Copies of this chain bind each other. A is one copy, B any other.
Amino acid sequence: MCVPELQKQIAESLSRRQFLRGTAAGAAVATASFLATPVDAREELFRPTTLRISKVVDLTHPLPPNFPTFGGAQQLTIKTIFNLKDNGYNLKEWVINEHTGTHMDAPFHFSDQQTADQIPVENLVGPLVVIDIREKASKDPDALVTEDDIRRYERRYGRIPFGAIVAMYSGWDAHVNTPKFRNADDKGVMHFPGFSLEAVEFLLANRQVKGLFVDTLSLDHGPSKTFDVHYRWLPTNRWGIECVANLGKVPARGATVIVGGPKIVGATGGPTRVIALL
């Protein structure tokens, strides 16, 4: 599979950033400093609970080969190996980039921490918190989830519970089959909402959150060149799910989600079935 040109550019940009990190100037933001802090989620963020399940909601997009991608190029190819008529059964093979469709960013994607298969299974189940920023996202495609958005949520719905999964609901999943999902401008810069570094710092310092959901292509908003949220969140052994679907079909609080992430050894992430019980 060809590597998209945009991804190459990003990789080069990040390589430079990585180089800076190795210098005195970059030391203050060195990955290692995150790992020693008490926010490392290597332990299970899970507590016993009672659920009344009356409904199951799929938070996963169907994934055809032409599902929109961060880099812009196709990241999934499906090949039929056997078919029912000629062979008596159907069987296919996929060539797939890990970061395609509704998918996980494992801690290892932007650090040397947990690969997808190493995440404790308890950290794949938790109460869902849905932060609705649709109004501002409809006016500004580069909108960010801020600390204020989180505090506003808590005033209305109560404190973010222990072991929660915090979702940005920007309404962007409605654009999944249109160019607006990537929303690239004339220079190729994308414009879609994401989490702010400030919001993530607040969550790391003050709440026990195990993962983030976004209904866009990235935890960072579209124009980001520095991927601050990726570099701050993932090295703490927390994960993210990008391209989450149907957040409008679950309540702001009260759903429990099960994150069916890949268990391929060494994976940096991968297509993930996300199921909500409510």
Interface residues of A (CB under 8 A from B): 1, 3, 7, 11-15, 17-18, 46, 48-58, 60-65, 76, 78, 81-82, 84-99, 101-102, 108-112, 117, 121-122, 124-125, 227, 230, 258-268, 270-273, 275, 277
Contact = CB atoms under 8 A, between A and B. Distances in A.
A122 B56 contact: yes
A99 B93 CA distance: 9
Contact of A263 (B62, B124, B258): B62
A11 B88 contact: yes
Contacts of A266: 78, 92
Contact of A62 (B11, B93, B117, B260): B117
Nearest to A49: B53
A4 B190 CA distance: 43
In the complex, the count of this chain's copies comes to 2
7 contacts: A1-B93, A88-B110, A89-B109, A90-B108, A102-B263, A121-B275, A261-B273
Given A51-B53, A122-B56, A275-B258, A15 B93 contact: no
Nearest to A64: B265
A271 B104 CA distance: 15
A14 B94 contact: no
Contacts of A62: 117, 263, 265
Contacts of A270: 94
A96 B97 contact: no
A125 B89 contact: no
Nearest to A234: B89
A90 B78 CA distance: 23
A212 B54 CA distance: 23
Contact of A260 (B78, B267, B275): B275
